[in-house]
Amino acid sequence: MKHWFESRQVLAALAEAQRAGQAAALATVIRVRGSAYRHAGAKLVVLADGSAVGNVSGGCLEGDVRETALRVIATGRAERRTYCGGTDEIFAWDLGVGCEGEVEVSIVPVTDAWSAERQALVREDSFVVLTPLVAGDDRRDDRRHGTAPLVPSRGVSGSARRVMTGAAAAEWIAEGSRLVTIEGREWFVDVLTPPPRLLVVSGGDDAVHVARLADGVGLRVVVADRRPGLLAPERFPASVRRIESDAIHLMEHLVLTPDDFSVVMTHHYGDDTAYLRALLASQVGYVGMLGPRARTERILGILRAEGPIDASRLYGPVGLDIGTDGAEQVAVAILAEILAVRSGRAPRSLRERRAPIHSTHA
């Protein structure tokens, strides 16, 4: 989810640097072993003036990567860095890698604005970028190093970066971002898939906090309201899509899938009933309902009287029970529940988790 959001920011910064005639270098995490804060595909662009967008760790690797990137800009020569946490968990965390983690980063000078990739991001297409790795310097900051490249079922050859979409990209997507070896040369396969969409039904002040927080964590946010005054562009981040629509016409403006999320929070009983009716008739996998349980049950009573409904997707009252005071904290509770549902995890304190915190296993 963050991969898509961050790539959009990083590639926008690259395009701006190209327009301004400023040299830049792009750092990409190309391999992760063990537990690490970021995953393969994480990016950091560094400009010649020292400014940077994105990140490749929890913050502890960025200083060294930035210095390396400035050297790459000056020499025009790509470098690869390997950071290894070793067996000391505290050392690994301080390094920004994670317990038993090893992170390999490729830092290359940028010679174009990655236009094809930016266009795919705008279209919200799933796509794959295959980049041949330049030999360059191999400077390491680690205690151990090894390579175990993967071999894809169908290869490519050549020396130019290429972007694949549609059927051409499908066979590469399932295994995620990774290193592969093709005809004796290493390539980095960067898989980008659009994150889930969150539909926030309301442009009210508390909905603004939900939209901003959701946008910040990388969801594709859409805000819908029948009241145009609440959809003023200055109220929301530029990346948030705004739809003026009542409940009857809402689904004419977007298609929701079982992977998507929605939250109804208009504070208007009739509007909440109408929007909930429309959402339960759609394919959206999560329908959050703000407000007391008794109010939600009354609305459900109305909808059940009209015919069968699938209430298993309904989360009402919406949000985790973390104790909240104010719209900002309510937004945190809502987004925390959405992220837990998306990852398939039962919400609990991290101190109860025995697996590495960045692992996909509970």
Percent of the residues in the chain that have a pLDDT greater than 70, as a whole number: 84
pLDDT, residue 349, reads 66
Write down the residue that tokens 């960025």 correspond to. 62
pLDDT, residue 158, reads 58
Model confidence at 92: pLDDT above 70: no
Model confidence at 94: pLDDT above 60: no
Question: What are the CA-CA distances from residue 71 to residues 26, 46, 132, 262 (Å)?
Answer: 12, 11, 21, 46
Q: Do 84 and 145 form a contact (C-beta atoms < 8 A)?
A: yes
Q: pLDDT: is 141 or 234 the higher one?
A: 234
Per-residue pLDDT band for 356 (boundaries 50, 70, 90) equals low
pLDDT, residue 348, reads 72
Question: What are 143's two structure tokens?
Answer: 């205690």
Model confidence at 99: pLDDT above 50: no
How far apart CA 35 and CA 358 sit, in angstroms, is 6
pLDDT, residue 144, reads 30
Q: Do 216 and 280 form a contact (C-beta atoms < 8 A)?
A: no
> pLDDT tens digit string along 210-251?
999 999 999 999 999 999 999 999 999 999 999 999 999 999
How many Cα neighbours within 13 Å face the side chain of 336? Answer: 16
How far apart CA 80 and CA 140 sit, in angstroms, is 8
Helices 293-306 and 269-280: crossing angle in degrees, nearest 10, is 60
For the segment 352-360, the average pLDDT, to the nearest whole number, is 60
How far apart CA 298 and CA 273 sit, in angstroms, is 9
pLDDT, residue 145, reads 29
For the segment 184-213, the average pLDDT, to the nearest whole number, is 96
Q: 85, 98, 94, 45: which is closest to 69 by C-alpha?
A: 45
Q: Do 289 and 296 form a contact (C-beta atoms < 8 A)?
A: yes
How far apart CA 151 and CA 186 sit, in angstroms, is 10
pLDDT, residue 32, reads 87
Q: pLDDT: is 144 or 39 the higher one?
A: 39
Model confidence at 1: pLDDT above 90: no
For the segment 169-185, the average pLDDT, to the nearest whole number, is 89
> pLDDT tens digit string along 302-352?
999 999 999 999 999 999 998 889 999 999 999 999 999 999 988 776 567
Going by the DSSP 8-state scheme, the letter that residue 246 receives in this structure is -
Q: Which helix (H) or strand (E) holds 127?
A: strand 127-132
pLDDT, residue 358, reads 52
Q: 204, 262, 194: which is closest to 236 by C-alpha?
A: 204
Question: DSSP 3-state assignment of 70?
Answer: helix
For the segment 50-67, the average pLDDT, to the nearest whole number, is 88
Which CATH number does 197-343 carry? 3.40.50.720
For the segment 286-294, the average pLDDT, to the nearest whole number, is 94
How far apart CA 285 and CA 256 sit, in angstroms, is 8
How far apart CA 222 and CA 92 sit, in angstroms, is 39
Per-residue pLDDT band for 159 (boundaries 50, 70, 90) equals low
How far apart CA 108 and CA 136 sit, in angstroms, is 9
pLDDT, residue 246, reads 97
Write down the residue that tokens 């297409």 correspond to. 125
pLDDT, residue 164, reads 92
pLDDT, residue 171, reads 84
pTM of structure:
0.80
* CATH 3.40.50.720 location in the chain: 197-343
Model confidence at 298: pLDDT above 70: yes
pLDDT, residue 98, reads 47
How far apart CA 103 and CA 83 sit, in angstroms, is 5
DSSP H helical segments within the chain, as ranges?
2-20, 62-75, 89-95, 115-123, 166-173, 205-217, 269-280, 293-306, 327-343
Q: Name the β-bridge partners of 79.
A: 107, 137
pLDDT, residue 105, reads 93
Model confidence at 156: pLDDT above 70: no
pLDDT, residue 60, reads 76
